[in-house]
Amino acid sequence: MRTATIVRTVTLALSALTCVACGQSEPQGRRVFFIQPADGATVTSPVRLEFGAADFRIAAVPAGTVTDTRPDLGHHHVAIDADCLPTGTAIPRAAPWVHFGDGKNIIDMQLPPGRHRLTLQVGDDLHRTIEGLCSMISVNVTE
């Protein structure tokens, strides 16, 4: 009984240390972000966009008719000069949104000259937005 209590106490102490070491606990650690370009970068077209995800799995949408979603899994979407969509919204299959239903995280994209916002938004297998999984940067596209 006493040994069990000690083991439990040590385990709890180790868990606390692990949490301190990892900095953030889920779901706050779950996020998507631009690997490139950097926020505020000056770029020329075609612009290489590369997306990253932490504590979340990116995968292709299954082939055929999809009727359900898989937990903690989705794919990237990017838009130019658009806002993050509210949680649970179906991401339009039209401009300015581009779906990466093949699970890819990179594209060379033509962008018009000028200052633009780039919005990265993850959607589930039904292309619906997931809470907290959106990120925005701005770039200055020169000719």
Name the residues that contact Cu ion, by CB under 5 A.
99, 123, 127
For Cu ion, which is the closer residue by CB, 122 or 137? 122
Minimum distance between the CB of residue 69 and Cu ion, rounded to whole angstroms? Answer: 11
> 30: closest CA among 74, 79, 62?
74
Phi, psi of 128 (to 5 degrees): -100, 140
Minimum distance between the CB of residue 122 and Cu ion, rounded to whole angstroms? Answer: 9
For Cu ion, which is the closer residue by CB, 135 or 141? 135
For Cu ion, which is the closer residue by CB, 31 or 99? 99
| Order of strands, sheet of 47-54, starting from the edge strand that comes earlier in the sequence | 31-36, 47-54, 106-109
Phi, psi of 56 (to 5 degrees): -155, 140
Minimum distance between the CB of residue 75 and Cu ion, rounded to whole angstroms? Answer: 6
